[in-house]
Amino acid sequence: MKQASSSFLSDPRKLSGALISVLSTRSQTIVKKRFGLDNNHPQTLQQVGDVYNITRERVRQIIESSLLIIKKKASLAEVNDFWKEIVTLLEKSGGIEEEKELFIRLEKEHSLIKGKEAAVNFLLFLSSDIVLEKEDGNCNSFWHLTSKKKGELVKRMKTIEKYFVQNKIPMSLKEIVQLAEKKLIPALTSTELIAYLKVSKKIGMNPFGEYGILASSEIEPAGTKDRAYVAMKHYQKPSHFSEIADLINQSKGLPVSPTLLSSAWLKTVKVQTVHNELIKDERFVLIGRGIYALRDWGYKPGRVVDVIKDILKKTNRPLTQEEIIKKVKEQRFAKDNTIVLNLHNKKYFKKLPDKCYTLIRSHKVLEI
């Protein structure tokens, strides 16, 4: 683990307290409440105003003037190393980072940050090189370098969003970076790209590392069946519904960004619910006793007899019993005896002198 570069990392609250000591007692208390310096729980302007029987606007004015006083009178030397580190972190992500994600990155390097986010947040507000943009209809709240204009950053983000809106196909980070280099934003690193994706309110991520527009059911699942579909796409093999339930529930523990992951992925599903949902969804095919496959894989719904009929139609020639058994097993988890029993259905199939089987249509043998 990277070691702390200045004393603020071990006690940001203590440093914050030292910085606000240049204020009057009343202003100190208001700043503490507004930024949550004592308990890590910031209060709204209204909450602080109610305590002192003053308006929200008056609280805002006191906070604003207090920050100016601190910048002029307080000794900020101790926090300089911290600001430099934040600037370096932001530069690596293209000068932008979603608000909560910045703390996650800091926590990875300095475990002592956790539980003291409010005090660290206060220290960031004192920097002239870093600014926080509040959440709006398009963006989550995010920090950025003052050298990077908000308009330019949002324009880049919308360029990326536009592609996802048009295509609606979830992609891995590697695929997006390759796409960006060719069509979107040249020389965009994966770290920079992730930062833009996290700031956008239109883009999300599933537990399997795929990014896409939130309108996609593979990113924002409507229920168990959508989660099952994505899980099976990545598992790539037919599975019993109990195994599919396990896959869905295990996906909750995969390492993904909490900013990008929909809360719909975090719900625990019941085994029977999976079976009840999949049996009604055309994307899934029941190919055995409780075993499901995806229609996308070439599986078709129906009874074993229907599968045999479809095989003979496609081959357009008689097949031996062994050939039919082999082909049916590519579509169904069925016992040989079950397949043979269905093959002896004289309503649909006829055994020829060479012991091959052909399909009967309207009770007539197909001409081969």
Q: Radius of gyration of the chain from Cα atoms?
A: 31
Distance CA 84, CA 141 (A): 21
Strands 130-133 and 142-145: antiparallel
Through-space distance between the first and last CA atoms of the chain, rounded to whole angstroms: 73
pTM of the model: 0.71
Domain 224-297 has CATH 2.20.28: no
Q: How far is CA 164 from CA 142, 212, 259, in A?
A: 21, 6, 18
Q: Is the pLDDT of residue 339 over 50?
A: yes
pLDDT band at residue 140 using 50, 70 and 90 as cut-offs: very high
Residue 212 phi, psi dihedral angles, 5° rounding:
-175, 175
Report the pLDDT averaged over residues 342-346.
Answer: 89
Report the pLDDT averaged over residues 162-189.
Answer: 77
Domain ranges of the chain: 7-77, 79-145, 150-213, 224-297, 304-365
Percent of the chain scored above 90 by pLDDT?
A: 37
User: What pLDDT is stored for residue 155 in this prediction?
Assistant: 86
User: What pLDDT is stored for residue 2 in this prediction?
Assistant: 42
User: What pLDDT is stored for residue 111 in this prediction?
Assistant: 65
Per the model's pLDDT, the better-predicted residue between 2 and 197 turns out to be: 197
Q: Is the pLDDT of residue 342 over 50?
A: yes
Q: Is the pLDDT of residue 60 over 60?
A: yes
Report the pLDDT averaged over residues 112-128.
Answer: 84
Residue corresponding to tokens 């280099």: 181
- Find out whether 63 and 27 touch, Cβ atoms under 8 Å: no
Report the pLDDT averaged over residues 233-254.
Answer: 88
Other beta carbons less than 10 A from residue 115's beta carbon: 10
Look up the CATH number of domain 150-213.
1.10.10
User: What pLDDT is stored for residue 89 in this prediction?
Assistant: 87
Percent of the chain scored above 70 by pLDDT?
A: 91
Q: Helix %, strand %, coil % for the chain, to 5?
A: 55, 10, 35
Look up the CATH number of domain 304-365.
1.10.10
Which range has the worst mean pLDDT, 119-133, 141-155, 325-339, 341-355?
A: 325-339
257-287 pLDDT, tens digit per residue, is: 777 888 889 899 999 999 999 999 999 999 8
Other beta carbons less than 10 A from residue 92's beta carbon: 14
User: Please, what is the average pLDDT of the chain?
Assistant: 86
Residue 17 phi, psi dihedral angles, 5° rounding:
-60, -40
Q: How far is CA 287 from CA 32, 146, 211, 310, 347, in A?
A: 63, 59, 31, 15, 23
Q: Is the pLDDT of residue 44 over 90?
A: yes
Q: How far is CA 278 from CA 65, 185, 216, 310, in A?
A: 60, 40, 19, 23
Look up the CATH number of domain 7-77.
1.10.10.10
- Find out whether 113 and 9 touch, Cβ atoms under 8 Å: yes
Q: Is the pLDDT of residue 20 over 50?
A: yes
Other beta carbons less than 10 A from residue 116's beta carbon: 21
Per the model's pLDDT, the better-predicted residue between 214 and 25 turns out to be: 25
Q: Is the pLDDT of residue 367 over 90?
A: no
pLDDT band at residue 36 using 50, 70 and 90 as cut-offs: very high
Distance CA 10, CA 160 (A): 39
